Structure 1
């Protein structure tokens, strides 16, 4: 019995000397036992959690058992099918959780910037709408003033036309009166008897 144990220990030491330590992962969704030797004939030292990161120390080519060391420093043998080189989900989970948290923070920052951008654009839009309303009001007032000025201009133009027409009538009337008086005078002058001075009176006066 002792000779078998010594032989097993020597084989283990030989495997330890030739194998290179490497990180390995216990498969997810399994419940693996750690044995004292490279088969299930050796006593169970404990269990190893699924997905846990372990260090591979050696491998038995006959039984396919792998000698591992866990994060607590325990060493033992587990079935090779339970050990994988690909990182387990449990090992990835903290990293994924950290990345998810970072992504959420980035999304929150993006959402905050987006909300602020929307708020700024909304404020600018409201300001532009207010300015547009004021401009429309001013434009309406200018249109009213323009209409009033146009009406006043039309009234003054009409008044000026009336005055010009009246002045023309006055000129025609005054000219007609003057012409009538001239014609009357021209007609009456020949009819007026003019007294001639006598020659004797003229001589006496001399």
Structure 2
């Protein structure tokens, strides 16, 4: 005998009291309660077993409130139509859902790893740029210091040049003054120097 925990009620599309004209249709035993199966389509027939909740079965025929089904093991029995559903049971979908969860988890892990890699690359890039900026700032500071030093040297040279110009000008004035003084002195002295007397030549 098979046991089952059955769930939601069967869909209202089942035709009660009339045999199915078409081929067997897939159905699933409901998930929320255990149901007994009988040997005939009424409560008066004896119970011949149970079926597992969520078990897939083939619907062969419907009479009154019962459905004739073929179980996975091949047994043909009758079950209350309300204990069947036309959608796959939760139990039957668990492996599929678990596989889907694993697939999505793997994708999420991949996305997470990819994102972490991108973030790490961005951090590395930012650190590289920051280092370059600091290097340029240091170079700029060094160049600024060299420029300031060069300007200071230029000012010193300009100061020295001005001093030399002044010294040269003073020397020029002093030299010119000396020359003028000597010339004046010569001009004053020369007229007062004794002149040599000329000899007169007589005739014998």
TM-score with structure 2 length normalisation?
0.82
In 2, distance between residues paired with 1:125 and 1:153? Answer: 41
SS across alignment from 1:68: strand
Identify which range, 79-88 or 135-144, moves more after superposition: 135-144
User: Which segments of structure 1 move beyond 4 Å, counting only runs of 4 or more?
Assistant: none
How far residue 196 of structure 1 moved from its aligned partner, in angstroms, is 4.1
**2:128 matches 1:127:** yes
| Residue 44 (structure 1) aligned to one of 44, 47, 58 | 47
Of the three residues 16, 34, 39, the one matched with 2:37 is 34
Counterpart mapping for 1:32-181 below 5 A: 32-60=35-63, 63-181=64-182
Aligned residue in 2 for 1:7:
none
Unaligned regions of 5+ residues in structure 1, if any?
1-13
Aligned equivalents of 1:75, 1:195: Cα separation in 2: 176
User: 1:37 and 1:19, CA in 2 relative to 1: closer, same or farther beyond 3 A?
Assistant: farther
**Greater Cα shift, 172-181 or 97-106:** 172-181
* CA apart distance, 1:144: 2.2
Q: Name whichever of 132-141 and 88-97 sits farther off.
A: 132-141
Residues of 2 paired with 1:145 and 1:72: CA distance?
A: 96
User: Which runs of 5 or more structure 2 residues have no equivalent in the other structure?
Assistant: 1-17
Higher helix share: 1
- What residue in structure 1 maps to residue 186 of structure 2? 185
